[in-house]
């Protein structure tokens, strides 16, 4: 009933909950550089495209069917669908859809996918409450800063232990963003973070199932509700994050508090956000990039005798599937990544469709790829040589793949990625209008026009 | 990005998720003894009284105000109030109210308060779906078996680490109960448990705030939604509980799998449920019981010169507050417990009201209580001597306080406790009818009559 046996508790943590609440409640609107503000727009745009793109996926269908059993009020848009549900359910559903393709953003230091929980909660609340686009962008920057800083403090022990860090820190980020939108004061914001602290979501064992994308959705919903509860006077511990039996010490034995306090309000974690050009795990990206560069140099699949890859051992450990049988398996095949890069110059969701993966030319081309481990090559790099039938050799070395922080996708690339996902769902014309609306988000007096464009046409 | 560094993972766990799913989906209705079935009714009755009793508490007010922002459909009753909300929100609100007085049931081996998550989820779903009382009782027995067995496996490490075990295991119990009510098959039930496994709720740091009762409420809501999602085809890992990066190994380094499989379907954890006669922590109960026995023997407060307690050191460590200033502090004062026992012969929520705690006669009587540590006395026992002004000494030794498994509250005591909580909320007449309805729960064709009686009169 009452042992006091918690191992290695830190009783001297700084007042993290209060410090973050103070930051979220009082940091000035647009209190950051133009570059940070533009990155926030890129983060939002990328998230929006992913959510609209997956709107018809069976995971969203199933979740929507469950939510419908609650007979939800029509408050906030389900992205990519001509449908509104209550704002908490919209946060859940848009969080699920945005992570379904595994094509959303990545904060590389922690592997957090930060927009899923934060943007899903913030947009649903902002739409229903009539907030401005500026308020939404502010909430997004601050919410992502909260979740990624908490992630920095706990990573990697927390992740190694089994937590899907996107969901476990995402509840806090979503609560922070919603507290900001609700204009909660410092004390109420601390309560919102406190209530959220009791609700970390997500275990890594769920990878490969619908519950993986449920994690950002569940975190979005829980964070939004935490802020609503706090706004009505619901209370939590003012030390809910940092206390010995608070959230962080309960879910991680590593907690570097300085990751939360250092340069808070000066350095913004959203600056380090990255966006996937390819719809698969990041270790394959350099190889796809290299093969797409070979294609751009004029190499055609039918000319190829052999493709020689030199990669870090991790690449084959994680994605060494030589003969993938379907789209999901192909996402774990560096061989398929190379074949897609050479054949299409890209590897979006459609290049991982079952019917593409099983095509005879793709099977044949994958068999021509020979991968060799060379741990002098960084895991973020690759060395590729295409040996052609005429005996000539074409060489490409990729140090940082496209989509990395060092070599980011351009705004135009993000737009093309968005079109690739959304055109089939809401039409190319509507997608173009939606993209334009997203770039001008900070000027929008409310979210009505953007949400109307985000809704499906059927 | 991909270390495989989880410490001491057990890769050879039995298939707990599947085993529990099989049990929940296929165990026969009323497949247990009459004693177990009666205990289920007692558990339900005690939970119902607690929930109705706290219906007007500010924690419920605040949570209801937040839920109201979602404009919920009128599907299921908020106990003690003339109001319905969607079934998931009803699960949340009734879970909060049932734990607000800290007066609900206790599975002593794990300190889980099992009914809060399980009954709150099951009643809300059963009411809306038109289930029978028999189905509800079955779901309650099976759901509590799931949460308490998972608790047995992880306790005490999981609790010591900082988890409020009621909420962290409660999501699983609630999901199991709802899966049963929805008549999910084994595979779908495994998915319901799997989705729930990503949503443990509750940190001990929240004790003393509204987020403590939020834990069973949040667990009830999450479990109910997990079952709804599974019923619509949402997927999770079929090893979500036991895998190295599944729920149990992520939140506890101790996992005794045999606690889950041993005598499953033969021994039922609800048999070991207990009910608090007094509205405070269990370590004070022997002292209150002893002083109430002295009062029953004719000892009056004005006769008392001194009360000598001999107690285990834990009692003073946890409840040694000599001069409590309000009701909440009094719950951590064995001295107030003794004064209440001697003065009123009871210590329900009203004996912990601020105006009672600060009464001059209570202050004076508390000061006459002298507590001495004697670790030869078990923490569940107490030795009390009342020294009267005439020099006589009255002695009571309590080995097992009333309310313990060894010395359970009688059905009549449970009814009196129910009246003490509910009479002021829904009237004494309606409370009597509600109690009668709860005892006959297994015969009810649906939950309409019981829920109507549970609703407030205003």
Q: What is the CATH number of the domain that holds A213?
A: 1.10.4100.10
Closest-CA distance of chain A to residue B10, Å:
12
Domain containing A371 — which CATH number? 3.30.1330.120
Q: How far is A69 from chain B (nearest CA, A)?
A: 8
Do residue A225 and residue B66 have CB atoms under 8 angstroms apart? yes
Q: Say which of B205, B232, B251 has its CB closest to residue A65.
A: B232
Residue length, chain B? Answer: 458
The verdict on a CB contact (< 8 Å) between B72 and A86 is: yes
| pLDDT digits 0-9 by tens, B138-173 | 999 999 999 999 999 999 999 999 999 999 999 999
Task: Looking at the structure, tell me whether residues A269 and A290 fall in a common domain.
Answer: no
Rounded Cα distance between A233 and B61, Å, is 9
Query: Does residue B5 register a pLDDT over 80?
Result: no
Q: What is the pLDDT of residue A6?
A: 58
Mean pLDDT of B329-358: 94
Q: Is A1 on the interface with B (CB under 8 A)?
A: yes
Q: Is residue A313 over pLDDT 60?
A: yes
Provide the chain A residues 278-307 that lie in CB contact (below 8 A) with chain B.
282-283
Query: Over the stretch B102-125, which tens digit does the pLDDT of each residue have?
Result: 899 999 899 999 999 999 999 999
Q: Same structural domain for residues B98 and B179? A: yes
46-65 of B, contacting A, C-beta below 8 A = 58-59, 61-63, 65
Which residue among B1, B234, B244 sits closest to A66, beta carbon to beta carbon? B234
B148 at the A interface (CB within 8 A)?
no
- Give mean pLDDT, residues B201-226: 96
- Cα dihedral across residues A8, A12, A13, A15: positive or negative: positive
Instruction: Tell me whether residue B134 is in a domain.
Output: yes
Q: Are B349 and B241 contained in the same domain?
A: no
CB contact residues (below 8 A), chain A span 304-333, against chain B: 314, 317-318
Q: Number of folded domains in chain A?
A: 2
Residue range A172-182: mean pLDDT, rounded: 99
Residues B256 and B271 in one domain: yes
Give the pLDDT confidence of B416-450 residue by residue, as tens digits.
999 999 999 999 999 999 999 999 999 999 999 99
**Are residue B139 and residue B251 in the same domain, yes or no?**
yes
B407 domain-assigned: no
A160: contact with B, CB 8 A cutoff? yes
Most confident listed range (B98-112, B172-186, B272-286) = B172-186
Does B304 reside within a domain?
yes
Q: What is the average per-residue pLDDT within B370-374? A: 96
pLDDT tens readout for residues A326-337: 988 898 899 999
* Per-residue pLDDT at B398: 97
Q: Band of the pLDDT at B2, cuts 50, 70, 90? A: very low
- Mean of all residue pLDDT scores within chain A: 95
Split at pLDDT 50, 70, 90, the class of B282 is confident
Provide the pLDDT confidence category of residue A191 given band limits of 50, 70 and 90.
Answer: very high
Q: Using the Cα atoms of residue B167, residue B169, residue B173 and residue B178 in order, give the sign of their dihedral.
A: positive
- What percentage of residues in chain B have a pLDDT greater than 90? 92
Chain A and chain B share a number of CB contacts under 8 A equal to 225
Inter-chain touch B237–A87, beta carbons under 8 Å:
no
Which candidate, A429, A457, A442, A366, places its Cα nearest to that of A44?
A442
Q: Do B240 and A2 touch (CB under 8 A)?
A: no
Cβ distance A80 to A51 under 8 Å?
A: yes
Residue B262's pLDDT is what? 98
Nearby residues of B233 by Cβ (< 8 Å), 6 or more positions away: A58, A61, A62, A65
Residues A247, A289: one domain?
no
In which band, very low, low, confident or very high, does the pLDDT at B7 lie, cut at 50, 70 and 90?
low
Please report residues of B whose CB lies closer than 8 A to that of A235: 209-211
The Cα–Cα gap between B241 and B251 comes to 10
Share of chain B above pLDDT 70, in %: 98
Look at residue A252 and tell me whether its pLDDT is greater than 60: yes
Domain that holds residue A124: 16-276+438-454
Would residue A403 count as lying in a domain?
no
pLDDT band at B359 (very low <50, low <70, confident <90, very high): very high
pTM recorded for the entire structure:
0.94
Residue A349 lies in a domain: yes
Give the pLDDT of residue A5.
55
Write the pLDDT tens digit of every residue in B178-211: 999 999 999 999 999 999 999 999 999 998 899 9
Same domain, A298 and A149: no
| Residue A2 pLDDT level (bands cut at 50, 70, 90) | very low
Mean pLDDT of A169-190: 98
Q: Which residues of chain A are within 8 Å of residue B255 when distances are taken between CB atoms?
A: none
- For residue B417, tell me if it sits in a domain: no
Report the percent of chain A where pLDDT is more than 70: 98
Same domain, A34 and A134: yes
For range A133-146, the mean pLDDT: 98
CB atoms within 10 A of CB A13: 20
Task: For residue B3, name the pLDDT band (cuts at 50, 70, 90).
Answer: very low
C-alpha distances (whole Å) from A295 to each of A76, A277, A289, A300, B225 are: 44, 16, 10, 6, 48
> Can you tell me the distance from the alpha carbon of A257 to that of A154, in angstroms, rounded to the nearest whole number?
9
Cβ–Cβ < 8 Å for B348, B341: no
Q: Do A210 and B2 touch (CB under 8 A)?
A: no
Q: What angle do CA A454, A116, B1 make, to 5 degrees?
A: 140
**Residue B270 CA: distances (Å) to CA of A81, A386, B137, B138, B325:** 45, 67, 11, 12, 37
**B2–A318 C-beta distance less than 8 A:** yes
A187 and A306 in a single domain? The answer is no
pLDDT of residue B4: 46
Question: What is the pLDDT at residue B6?
Answer: 58
Subunit contact B234:A198, Cβ cutoff 8 A: no
Residue B100 has pLDDT above 50, yes or no: yes
Residue-level pLDDT at A294: 97
CA distances from B449 to A191, B134, B310, B435 (A): 38, 14, 49, 12
Q: Give this complex's ipTM.
A: 0.94
Q: Does a structural domain hold residue A7? A: no
Please, which residues bridge with residue B382 across strands?
Answer: B398
**What value does the mean pLDDT take over residues A154-164?**
95
Assess whether B262 and B318 both reside in one domain: no
Min distance A276 CA to chain B CA atoms (Å): 15
Interface test with B, best of A199, A220, A283, A311 (most B CBs within 10 A): A199
Residue A304 bridge partners (DSSP): A388
* B-proximal residues of A, 356-395, CB under 8 Å: 379
- Of A398, A428, A446, the one marking the end of a domain is A398
pLDDT tops 90 at residue B72: yes
Predicted confidence at residue B457, as pLDDT, reads 60
Q: pLDDT band at A4, cuts 50/70/90?
A: very low
- pLDDT tens, position by position, A5-61: 555 689 999 999 999 999 999 999 999 999 999 999 999 999 999 999 999 999 999
Can you tell me the mean pLDDT for A68-87?
97
Cβ–Cβ < 8 Å for A35, A275: no
Q: Cβ of B158: how many Cβ atoms within 10 Å? A: 24
8 Å CB contact of A211 and B160: no
Whole-number pLDDT of residue A381? 95
Task: Establish if B240 touches chain A: CB-CB under 8 angstroms.
Answer: yes
Does A358 lie in the same domain as A252? no
Residue A231 or B314, more confident? A231
B420 close to A (CB below 8 A): no
pLDDT value at residue B1: 38
A229 to B282: CB separation less than 8 angstroms, yes or no: no
**Residues of chain A found within 8 Å of residue B175, distances taken between Cβ atoms:** none
Chain A interface, best mutation among B74, B156, B162, B314, by max A CB count within 10 A: B162
- Is there a domain that residue A154 lies in? yes
* One domain for residues A210 and A244: yes
Q: How high is the mean pLDDT of chain B?
A: 95
């Amino acid at each position: 009933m009452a042992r006091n046996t918690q191992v290695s508790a830190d009783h001297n943590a700084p007042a993290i909950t209060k410090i973050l609440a103070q930051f979220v409640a009082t940091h000035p609107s647009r209190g950051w550089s133009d570059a940070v503000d533009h990155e926030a727009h890129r983060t939002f745009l990328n998230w929006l495209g992913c959510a609209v793109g997956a709107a018809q996926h069976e995971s969203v269908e199933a979740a929507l069917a469950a939510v419908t059993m609650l007979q939800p009020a029509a408050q906030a848009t389900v992205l990519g669908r001509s449908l509104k549900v209550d704002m908490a359910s919209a946060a859940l559903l848009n969080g699920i859809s945005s992570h379904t393709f595994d094509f959303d953003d990545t904060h590389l230091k922690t592997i957090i996918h930060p927009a899923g929980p934060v943007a899903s909660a913030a947009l649903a609340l902002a739409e229903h409450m009539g907030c401005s686009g500026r308020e939404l962008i502010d909430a997004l920057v601050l919410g992502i800063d909260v979740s990624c800083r908490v992630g920095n403090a706990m990573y990697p022990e927390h992740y190694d232990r089994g937590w899907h860090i996107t969901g476990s820190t995402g509840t806090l980020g979503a609560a922070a963003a919603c507290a900001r939108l609700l204009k909660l004061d410092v004390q109420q914001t601390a309560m919102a973070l406190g209530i959220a602290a009791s609700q970390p979501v997500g275990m890594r064992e769920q990878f490969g199932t619908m519950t993986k994308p449920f994690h950002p959705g569940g975190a979005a919903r829980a964070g939004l509700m935490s802020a609503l509860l706090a706004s009505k006077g619901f209370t939590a511990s003012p030390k809910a994050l940092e206390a010995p039996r608070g959230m962080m010490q309960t879910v991680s034995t590593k907690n570097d508090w300085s990751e939360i306090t250092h340069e808070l309000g000066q350095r913004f974690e959203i600056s380090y956000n990255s966006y996937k050009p390819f719809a698969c795990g990041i270790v394959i990206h350099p190889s796809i990039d290299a093969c797409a560069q070979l294609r751009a140099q004029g190499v055609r699949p039918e000319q190829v005798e052999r493709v020689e890859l030199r990669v870090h051992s991790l690449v084959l450990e994680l994605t060494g599937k030589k003969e993938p049988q379907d789209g999901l398996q192909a996402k774990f095949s560096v061989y398929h990544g190379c074949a897609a890069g050479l054949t299409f110059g890209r590897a979006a969701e459609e290049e991982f469709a079952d019917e593409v993966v099983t095509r005879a030319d793709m099977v044949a081309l994958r068999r021509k790829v020979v991968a060799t481990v060379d741990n002098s090559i960084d895991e973020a790099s690759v060395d590729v040589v295409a040996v052609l039938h005429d005996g000539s050799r074409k060489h490409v070395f990729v140090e940082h793949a496209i989509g990395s922080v060092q070599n980011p996708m351009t705004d135009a690339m993000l737009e093309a990625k968005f079109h690739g996902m959304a055109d089939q769902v809401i039409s190319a014309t509507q997608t173009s209008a939606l993209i334009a609306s997203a770039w001008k988000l900070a000027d929008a007096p409310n979210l009505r026009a953007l949400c109307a464009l985000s809704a499906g046409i059927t």
